[in-house]
Structure 1
Amino acid sequence: MVETSRFQMGVIGALALSVASSVAIVICNKALMSNLGFPFATTLTSWHLMVTFCTLHVAQKFNVFETKSIEMKTIVLFGILNGVSIGLLNLSLGFNSIGFYQMTKLAIIPFTVLLETAFLKKQFSQKIKLSLFVLLLGVGIASITDLQLNLVGSVLSLLAIATTCVGQILTNTIQKRLNVSSTQLLYHSAPYQAAILFVSGPLVDQFLTKQNVFAYKYSAVVSAFIILSCLIAVSVNFSTFLVIGKTSPVTYQVLGHLKTCLVLGFGYTLLHDPFTERNIVGILIAIFGMGLYSYFCTHENKKKQSSDSLTASQDSYTTEFVSMSHEAE
């Protein structure tokens, strides 16, 4: 009982950290890119990952956590896959309209459900599927404004969805199958993710923005916001691996859409972004869907725990009965 309570508190803490840090970095990056004119998103992400690795390396040296050996092939492929997915998402944004990009992000949840059902034999109840549908409907109403299709953008979006889904499923699977913590997995994989983006980032950014990140004139204010963004990113990257490891890729995506709603709200409140009745209705529907998802997940987890406890009790009783029978003989 105490162990279950600690686990639940750990999950709540991971979710809260993920939401707070993600909203903070979106606001910071929006100020950096929109207000200060620094458009190099992919290169910035490579810096985020490098600072994350350096921070974890220092923490490891001070024995904050212990490293655990993981097969090099697994880590390299995992790191490259995650790095490629980030680059593809940024390219998708560059080649598609904002509305189609939002559709791409929404499609990650049903694709993840499909992949986990097909390859991991995971079962999702009709109630869970209904709550996810309500959530996606709400986020779609709140965030999708236009839909413009083109062949290259559609292909990039499909590749971005596939790599993101597989990467997040592997984040959960590797932690559980190899018995490694989120910190250990992030520590080992961050350098490879950073390396992929450090090489490809400037090329992707130059292709999308027609500007060279190395020719950009860095002011003191821009440099300060970049440093702040990198520091917040340490928390974002850590909480991402933590949430996926403690819950599931689908729950992490649900949390991601909560962040979208919060960002829309903060954007209107703090940055005075345009806000319509449609945004409000969409956010309310999305929050209702999240509430349903949370309720159904909690209810099903309690049923599963009760069933597991009953099975364990029956096994214990059977073992004890067999033991007594042998003693009587």
Structure 2
Amino acid sequence: MNFRFSGLLVALHFASNATVLTLLSWAGAFAHKAMPTYDRLLLGSMGALSIVLGTTSLKINSLGAFLATNMLTTPSTVLLRFLWEGKRYDLPVLGALSVVVAGVALHTINDKDLQAGWGLPVAFVSVICNAAYQVLQKMRQDSLGVNSAQLLQQISPVVAAGGAVVAAFEATGEGGFLAIHWSPLLVSALALTAVMAVTSNVAAGALIGVTSPVTFQVMGYVKACLLFLASLAWSYAMGGVESMPAWGSVV
């Protein structure tokens, strides 16, 4: 469908989050708990920035490069938790993360497209932003005594507003979303992404709240590996061996 309007998607997804969670709160699924305005704005802004940067990274990099650089989120999370909380990890954990960093470095060396232009800087800024957002999310949940649903309900309107600001620049002009044909298939697909986004965000917030950002990222490695293998299979199916990335990147 080539739907490239990331700001509109962020606004749609987090407006859906806010609506669903507010209805659940009214229904008694969880108690509404207000957060200080500063914390709402901080987490909401970080969340919106993290998503927009991640979407931009995916646009200008290949799926393989996007997934590979995203694996640096865990080492970044460990570093930020050490700097902000004094959290220390055992040597086996640090050794495993060293392997991850070495693998991403090897991929970066072999991926010529990633080295060109803004691909690499945007990818790394996206990773740092995402790690900072998850660490702050966990810290605020603990310090304010809120659960994941309460926190997400409070920050979703802020993230949606940030997405709406970006969407305003995507709306007009020849390539704007107001000028495209909104077919029933497109509308249905966007509605499906909203349902998936609500489910994913609630599950991710719950996991970070009961475990830690590092555990959440480690579990996400399984998803990254599956997506990377799927992208390799797709590249081979579409163009044969010649269209696949260099073997150094695969390793």
- TM-score (normalised: structure 1): 0.64
Separation in structure 1 between the aligned mates of residue 58 and residue 212 of structure 2, nearest angstrom:
26
Aligned to 1:197: 163
| 244, 254, 267: which one aligns with 2:208 | 244
Shift of the 257–43 alpha-carbon distance from structure 1 to 2, 3 Å rule, reads farther
Aligned to 2:125: 159
Aligned to 1:180: 146
Separation in structure 2 between the aligned mates of residue 257 and residue 279 of structure 1, nearest angstrom:
21
The 5 A counterparts of 1:210-229 are 211-229=175-193
Q: Could you list the runs of 5+ residues in structure 2 that have no partner in the other structure? A: none
Matched, 1:63 2:63: no
Q: Is the CA contact 2:138–2:213 (under 8 Å) kept in the aligned structure 1?
A: yes
**What whole-Å deviation, never above 9, does each CA across 1:122-153 have from its counterpart, x for those lacking one?**
11111012233445666888999724325644
| 211, 215, 218: which one aligns with 1:254 | 218
Aligned to 1:231: 195
Shift of the 135–51 alpha-carbon distance from structure 1 to 2, 3 Å rule, reads same
Aligned to 1:112: 77
Matched, 1:274 2:236: yes
Q: CA deviation at 1:39?
A: 2.8
Q: Is the CA contact 1:92–1:101 (under 8 Å) kept in the aligned structure 2?
A: yes
**What whole-Å deviation, never above 9, does each CA across 1:15-45 have from its counterpart, x for those lacking one?**
xxxxxxxxxxxxxxxxxxxxx3323334223
Q: CA deviation at 1:173?
A: 0.8
Separation in structure 2 between the aligned mates of residue 92 and residue 278 of structure 1, nearest angstrom:
18
Matched residue type, 1:196: G
Greater shift after overlay, 244-253 or 184-193?
244-253
Aligned to 1:288: none
Shift of the 119–211 alpha-carbon distance from structure 1 to 2, 3 Å rule, reads same
Shift of the 274–46 alpha-carbon distance from structure 1 to 2, 3 Å rule, reads farther
Q: Is the CA contact 1:102–1:144 (under 8 Å) kept in the aligned structure 2?
A: no
**What whole-Å deviation, never above 9, does each CA across 1:257-313 have from its counterpart, x for those lacking one?**
2112223455678xx553789999999x9xxxxxxxxxxxxxxxxxxxxxxxxxxxx
- TM-score (normalised: structure 2): 0.82
Q: CA deviation at 1:230?
A: 0.7
Q: Is the CA contact 1:81–1:167 (under 8 Å) kept in the aligned structure 2?
A: yes
| 13, 17, 31: which one aligns with 1:48 | 13
Two-structure CA RMSD over aligned residues (Å): 3.4
Larger Rg: 1
Q: Is the CA contact 1:138–1:281 (under 8 Å) kept in the aligned structure 2?
A: no
Matched residue type, 1:241: G
Identity of aligned residues (%): 26
Q: Is the CA contact 1:139–1:257 (under 8 Å) kept in the aligned structure 2?
A: no
Separation in structure 2 between the aligned mates of residue 155 and residue 273 of structure 1, nearest angstrom:
25
Matched residue type, 1:157: A
SS in 1 for 2:48: helix
Separation in structure 1 between the aligned mates of residue 190 and residue 226 of structure 2, nearest angstrom:
22
Shift of the 172–253 alpha-carbon distance from structure 1 to 2, 3 Å rule, reads same
Separation in structure 2 between the aligned mates of residue 279 and residue 234 of structure 1, nearest angstrom:
36
SS in 2 for 1:274: helix
Q: Is the CA contact 1:43–1:201 (under 8 Å) kept in the aligned structure 2?
A: yes
